[in-house]
Amino acid sequence: GLGIARWLTGQRKATKTAFRSLKFLDLTACNELTETPNLSVFPGLEKLVLDRCDNLLKVHDSIANPKRLAVLSMSSCGKLKELPDCMSSLASLKRLILANCSSLESLPDRIVQLIALEELDVSNCSSLNKLPDSVLRELTLKKLQIIGFPNLEPVGNPASGIYRLHESNHSTKDQYAMKHLDDRHLKYLYFSGTGIQKLPISISLQKNLHLLHLNNCQLLAEVPEWIADLCLLEELSLSNCPLITGMPHTIASLEYLRYLNLSRCNRIQALPDCIGDLGSLIELLLENVSLMELPESVVFLRKLEILHLGSCKKLERLPSSIGNLENLTQLLLHGTNIKEIPSSITSLQKLELLSVTGCKRLKHLPVGLSEDLLLL
């Protein structure tokens, strides 16, 4: 690895012919590299991996030469501070992975010219103090990961470009930005671990969004009613958002939602009755939530396979008709305050796991439980 990297950096003339057809170059953990090699000798390169190059300081301008480059991964390059503007000419680039580049201070303003870019990962780039405001406005991303930014400024601060688009007074520039978000291609949005207090309203215009992760957003205070505008949403995860107190009734409109995670949102004391309208829901995770009971409507979740209520210490009862959850395979009740389990549970023919460890007030289990059931 190190010898190859040193040799490439030497830019031998012979390489121009020898590597003309090379498509994949992996220089992972080449710790002697301080600058990327001259890539002009690799005109056919399609994938370049420079992960964990601990001493990489500079990306050579020749990065723009391989016109077929589709994947560029430079994750965990801890000393890399900037990227060259010439990267904007990579017309075939689909994936740009920069996760854990802790010294990276900015992205090129011309990143918007990466017309083929579908995935951008800047997770845990702790020195990155802003994103170009064109990232959501003009890029046709399908997957955006912005995980681990606890110090990102809240909505309205000019320093955080991605939020600058969503100020409440809606300047002309903001209106232009939101107008052009109307037909975005974003499918996967990872906002976990950020310091946002409020979700940018422009997310509501991401009509193709399938997945929204907001785990560990310690300052996020509510789920907005416009969540219903994400009409194709399949996965919503809000684990460990301690300021959230409930879910809006409009969530019932998410007819394709298959996965809902509210675990460790310990200020949530009740779910809306309309939760039963989520007819596609397969997993409902409510671990360590302050629920005293579930709404009766939960029994209408006929596709539900996993119901996680573990460590809900205030939970005292289950709906009497819980046996209607005909596809339920896992019911996790450990550490709850449940006094009894409804006898209708014996109707759950597909139930494989029932967890009741630490349910100190539970005196007995219903008669007639399947012998094949795993009890924990």
The pLDDT tens digits of the residues spanning 149-182 come to: 765 543 333 223 333 222 233 333 333 233 333 3
Given a contact cutoff of 8 angstroms between Cβ atoms, the answer to whether 28 and 4 are in contact is no
Q: What is the mean pLDDT of the chain?
A: 85
Of the candidates 132, 121, 59, the residue with the CA atom closest to the CA atom of residue 90: 59
* The pLDDT value given to residue 201: 85
* The pLDDT value given to residue 214: 95
The larger pLDDT score, comparing residue 331 to residue 167, is at 331
Main-chain phi, psi angles of 155, to 5 degrees: -55, 135
Q: Please give the model's pTM, rounded to 2 decimal places.
A: 0.82
**Cα 376 from Cα 374, distance rounded (Å):** 7
Residues 345-355 have a mean pLDDT of 94
**Cα 257 from Cα 279, distance rounded (Å):** 8
Q: Give the pLDDT confidence of 195-230 residue by residue, as tens digits.
A: 888 888 878 888 899 999 999 999 999 999 999 999
Instruction: Please determine, for residue 93, whether its predicted confidence score (pLDDT) is greater than 50.
Output: yes
DSSP annotation of 49 reads E
Of the candidates 297, 191, 282, 294, the residue with the CA atom closest to the CA atom of residue 235: 282
* The pLDDT value given to residue 306: 98
Cα separations in angstroms, 284 against 191, 206, 257, 281, 337 = 20, 24, 10, 7, 19
Span 278-375: which CATH code? 3.80.10.10
Main-chain phi, psi angles of 331, to 5 degrees: -125, 110
Main-chain phi, psi angles of 49, to 5 degrees: -120, 120
Instruction: Please determine, for residue 7, whether its predicted confidence score (pLDDT) is greater than 90.
Output: no
* The pLDDT value given to residue 133: 60
* The pLDDT value given to residue 18: 62
The larger pLDDT score, comparing residue 12 to residue 297, is at 297
The residue written with tokens 């399949």 in the block is 234
The larger pLDDT score, comparing residue 183 to residue 224, is at 224
Rg of the chain taking only CA atoms, in angstroms: 25
Tally of residues, the chain: 376
Query: Could you write out the three-class secondary structure of 248-296?
Result: CHHHHHCCCCCEEECCCCCCCCCCCHHHHHCCCCCEEECCCCCCCECCH
Q: Give the pLDDT confidence of 291-314 residue by residue, as tens digits.
A: 999 999 999 999 999 999 999 999
